[in-house]
Chain A
Amino acid sequence: MAIECLVLGAGQEVGKSCVVATIGGKRVMFDCGMHMGYHDRRHYPDFARALAAWGVPDFTSALACVVITHFHLDHIGALPYFTEVCGYHGPIYMTYPTKALAPFMLEDYRKVTMDQRGEAEQYSYEDILRCMKKVIPLDLKQTVQVDKDLVIRAYYAGHVLGAAMIYAKVGDAAMVYTGDYNMTPDRHLGAAQIDRLKLDLLITESTYAKTIRDSKHAREREFLKAVHKCVSGGGKVLIPTFALGRAQELCMLLDDYWERMNLKIPIYFSAGLTIQANMYYKMLIGWTSQKIKDSHAVHNPFDFKHVCHFERSFINNPGPCVLFATPGMISGGFSLEAFKKWAPSNKNLITLPGYCVAGTVGHKLMSGKPTRIDLDKDTHIDVRCQIHQLAFSPHTDSKGIMDLTEFLSPKHVILVHGEKPQMAFLKERIESELGIPCFYPANNESVSIPTTDNLKMSTTERFITSCAAEQGKQSLRKRNLIHGTGTSEVNGCDEAAVEGVILMEKHKAPKILCEDELAQVLGMERHLVQFEALGSSGIEEAVELEFKRAEAADLGSDGK
Chain B
Amino acid sequence: MSNTKQPISNRLRSLPVASGGGLPSKTPTRRSPLPAGEAPPLPLLHQALHPPNPMGDPHLLSSAHPAAAAASARKHPGPIDERFSDPSPHITKRPRVAADAAATVGSAPYPEEEVRSLVIMAGGIYPLARAEALRGLAAVLEKAGTGCCDGAGIVECCYGCAVELMRDEDEGVRLAVVRLVGLCAQKFAARMDVDAKSDGDIMDLIFQQLSSMARDMCTKVRIEAFGALGKMQRVSDGVLLQSLSKKVIKTDTMSGTIIKGQKLPPKLKIPCAAGIFAHGIEDEFYQVRTAACTSLGALAKFSSQYAEKALDLLMDMMNDDTETVRLQTLQALFHMATYGYLSMQEKHMHMFLGLLVDANALIRNAARKILGLVNLPKLQMFKSAIDCLIASLEKNPEEQDIYGILFSIGKNHGSFSANIAKHLAKEIATASDGELILDRPRVKALIIVSISAPFSDDKHKKLDIPSIIFSHAISLLGKVSCALGEEVNQDSLLSYLCHKGGMPLWGNRSVSVEFGESESCKVETVEVGEQIENTAKATKCLDRVLVMQSVESILQTVEGAWTMRMSCDVCEARTILRTCKEELKVLAENSSGSIGAFLSFLCEYLDAIRLVVELWQLIQLDNSYTVGLTAPDILLEKLNISVRRMECCYAGLNRGLEVQVMELALLANLLGLSNIGACSKAVLSKLVWIINRLEGLCADGSCELSDFSREIKKTFEADHIGSALIRNIHTSVELFRLKPTTDFGALKAISGVLQVCDNNSENPQSYICGLPVGVSFNISLWNISSNHRLWLHMSIGESVQHTFLDFSSFEGDGEVKSGSMVVPLNTTPMAHSFVLRVCLIMECYGGISSNQERHGGPSDCVVQLSDELDVYFVSTGQR
Contacts and interface: CB of A to CB of B under 8 A. Distances in A.
B267 interface: yes
A488 B10 CA distance: 8
Contacts of A213: 246
A227 to B, nearest CB: 16
Interface string B48-65: 110100000000000000
B89 A488 contact: yes
Of the listed residues B246, B267, B274, the one surrounded by the most CB atoms of chain A closer than 10 A to its CB is B246
A195 B266 contact: no
A496 interface: yes
A493 B266 contact: no
Given A487-B153, A488-B153, A491-B9, A406 B284 contact: no
Contact of A488 (B90, B167, B266, B281): B90
A517 to B, nearest CB: 23
A495 interface: yes
A178 B119 CA distance: 36
Given A216-B282, A290-B284, A491-B160, A486 B216 contact: no
A213 B278 CA distance: 10
Interface in B107-144: 110, 112-113, 115-116, 119-120, 123
A369 interface: no
Given A291-B321, A485-B39, A491-B161, A215 B282 contact: yes
B175 to A, nearest CB: 13
Contacts of A393: none
A47 to B, nearest CB: 35
A481 interface: yes
A489 B14 CA distance: 10
B283 A486 contact: no
Of the listed residues A217, A290, A409, the one surrounded by the most CB atoms of chain B closer than 10 A to its CB is A217
Contacts of B113: 482
B256 to A, nearest CB: 14
A184 B280 CA distance: 10
Contact of A493 (B49, B90, B164, B269): B49
Nearest to A408: B217
B852 interface: no
Interface stretch (A116-124, A185-193, A347-355): A185-193
A289 interface: yes
Query: Chain B contact residues: over half helix, strand or loop, or mixed?
Result: helix
Given A487-B112, A494-B123, A495-B5, A217 B38 contact: no
Interface in B1-27: 1-2, 5-7, 9-10, 13
Of the listed residues B88, B89, B154, B282, the one surrounded by the most CB atoms of chain A closer than 10 A to its CB is B282
A290 B7 contact: no
Contacts of B88: 485
B267 A406 contact: yes
Given A190-B284, A399-B274, A215 B112 contact: no
Nearest to B51: A497
Contacts of A495: 1-2, 5
A399 B1 contact: no
Given A403-B215, A495-B2, A489 B49 contact: yes
A492 B10 contact: yes
A214 B216 CA distance: 20
Nearest to A218: B316
A489 B90 CA distance: 11
B637 to A, nearest CB: 52
Interface string A386-410: 0000000000010100110011010
A184 B282 contact: yes
Contacts of A485: 39, 42, 45, 88, 90-91, 94
Contacts of B167: 196, 409
A191 B284 contact: yes
A432 B283 CA distance: 28
Contacts of B271: 402, 433
Given A487-B157, A488-B13, A215 B281 contact: yes
Contacts of A221: 316, 319
Interface string B248-286: 000000000000000000110101101100110111111
B313 interface: yes
A522 interface: no
Given A215-B281, A434-B266, A399 B119 contact: no
Query: Chain A contact residues: over half helix, strand or loop, or mixed?
Result: loop
B241 to A, nearest CB: 15
A393 to B, nearest CB: 14
A488 B154 CA distance: 9
Contacts of A497: 1, 51
B322 interface: yes
B217 A194 contact: yes
Contacts of B112: 482, 486-487
Contacts of A488: 13, 89-90, 153, 156-157
A481 B116 CA distance: 11
A542 interface: no
A486 B100 CA distance: 14
B331 interface: no
Interface string B73-102: 000000000000000111101100100000
B169 interface: yes
A214 B286 CA distance: 20
Of the listed residues A196, A213, A216, A402, the one surrounded by the most CB atoms of chain B closer than 10 A to its CB is A196
Nearest to A486: B90
B7 A492 contact: yes
A490 interface: yes
A326 B316 CA distance: 31
B119 A490 contact: yes
A484 interface: yes
B197 interface: no
A394 B837 CA distance: 75
A492 B5 contact: yes
Interface string A453-488: 000000000000000000000000110011011111
Contacts of A217: 281-282, 316-317, 319
Given A216-B282, A291-B322, A490 B1 contact: no
B274 to A, nearest CB: 7
Nearest to A429: B271
Contacts of B875: none
A406 B13 contact: no
A487 B115 contact: yes
A489 B156 CA distance: 11
A478 to B, nearest CB: 8
A1 interface: no
Contacts of A190: 284
Contact of A487 (B116, B216, B272): B116
Contacts of B217: 193-196, 407
B250 to A, nearest CB: 14
Interface in A210-257: 212-218, 220-221, 256
B540 interface: no
Contact of B157 (A212, A216, A490): A490
B157 A492 contact: no
B38 A484 contact: yes
A215 B115 contact: no
Interface string B577-611: 00000000000000000000000000000000000
Q: Which 5 A-B pairs have the closest CB atoms?
A: A484-B39, A486-B90, A185-B284, A217-B316, A486-B153
Interface of A: 184-185, 190-191, 193-198, 212-218, 220-221, 256, 289-291, 397, 399, 402-403, 406-407, 409, 432-435, 477-478, 481-482, 484-497
30 contacts: A194-B217, A195-B169, A196-B168, A198-B169, A212-B247, A214-B246, A215-B316, A217-B319, A256-B321, A290-B285, A291-B322, A397-B246, A406-B212, A406-B215, A406-B272, A481-B39, A486-B94, A486-B153, A487-B157, A488-B89, A488-B90, A488-B153, A489-B46, A490-B119, A490-B157, A491-B160, A492-B10, A493-B49, A495-B1, A495-B2
Given A487-B157, A491-B157, 8 more contacts: A196-B168, A215-B278, A397-B246, A407-B216, A434-B267, A477-B49, A481-B45, A492-B6
